[in-house]
Amino acid sequence: MTEQIRVLLVDDQALIRVGFRMVLESTPDLLVVGEAADGAEAIHQVDALHPDVVLMDVRMPGIDGIAATEAIVAEHPETRVLVLTTFDLDEYAFAAIRAGAGGFLLKDAQRDELLSAVRAVHRGDGVLAPRVTRALIDRVAGDLEAAPVAPDGRASDSPASDRGASDPLALLTDREREIFTAIARGLSNAEIAEQFFLSESTVKTHVGRVLAKLNARDRVHVVILAYEQGIV
C-alpha cells in the first residue's frame, strides 16, 4: 500500500474543515491527521503531529495564516503549506507564498483540483490555481514597475552592479535556463519533456538542480523569481 500523505486542516470555520476532510478522506492515499481553527493552534499541531501538508486558510483571528506559514516553514521545512483563499486577489495569500507556502488554491476548487494540489505540493511542486496565476503575475509586474530602474532599463531595488554580481541565474547552464523559463511559464514536467524531447526523469533531475542552484523552495518561487528577474 502506498504511504499516505498526512494532512492538517487549518480554517476558522468548522463547516469548511468538515467539507475538506470529506473530500480528502475519500481517497486512500490522503489522511487528515488533525484540524486547527487559527494560526497558533496550527503551529502547535504541526509541532505535535508533523503532517506532510498543511491546508492553510489565511484570514483567521489571532495569528493569521501568513505568520503561521512563516513559523511552520522555518521550524518544519519538510512540511509543505498549501494556502487556501476565497478571493483571486488576496494580499494575504500573496504574502503567505512569500513566507514560504508551496501553493495557492481557491476554496471553490473542484474536488480533483484540490486532491491534485495536495499531492503536487507534497512532491515539492508548486501549485497556483489558474485564475490566480494571472493575478500573481500582475502583482509581481506591479512591484517591478514601482521599483527604481537601472541604467540598462531593468527594474531594480539595488544598484545594477550589485544585481550583476549576485545574479542567481548565472549559476544555471543553458539547458537549466530553458527549464527555468518553462517552469516560470507554468509547464508541468510532462509538458517540459515533450517540448525539449526529454524523458520525464531527466526533466525531474533538471528541475531539482534548478531549484537547488536558485535556493528555491518549489516551483511557485521560481515563478516569482522569473518575474523579478524580468525573464518571463
Break the chain into its structural domains and give their ranges: 5-132, 148-228
- Share of residues in the chain with pLDDT > 90 (%): 30
Residue 149: what pLDDT? Answer: 46
Would residue 186 be called left, alpha or beta, if left means φ above 0 and alpha means ψ between -120 and 50 degrees?
A: left
Higher-confidence position of 149 and 191: 191
Q: Which is nearest to 52 in space by CA: 7, 21, 11, 84?
A: 7
The angle formed by the CA atoms of residues 60, 82 and 28, to the nearest 5 degrees, is 115
CA-based nearest residue to 118, from 232, 14, 25: 25
Average pLDDT of the chain to the nearest whole number: 80
Beta bridge partners of 8: 34, 54
Contact 55, 118 (CB under 8 A): yes
List of residues 6+ apart from 8 with CB closer than 8 A: 32, 33, 34, 35, 36, 42, 45, 46, 49, 51, 53, 54, 55
In the predicted model, is pLDDT for residue 182 greater than 80? yes
If you classify domain 5-132 with CATH, what class do you get?
alpha beta
Query: Residues 56-65: pLDDT tens digits?
Result: 998 888 898 8
Tens digits of residue pLDDT in 137-176: 565 555 545 555 444 444 444 433 343 445 778 888 889 8
Quick one: pLDDT at residue 159?
38
The pLDDT of residue 35 is above 80: yes
CA angle (60 as vertex; 56, 48 as ends), nearest 5 = 50
Q: Tell me what pLDDT residue 33 has.
A: 96
106 versus 42: which is more confidently predicted?
A: 42
148-228 folds as Rossmann fold (3.40.50)
Q: 65-89: per-residue pLDDT in tens?
A: 889 999 999 999 889 999 888 765 5
Q: Which pLDDT score, from 0 to 100, does residue 142 have?
A: 54
Q: Which residue has the cell 528577474?
A: 229
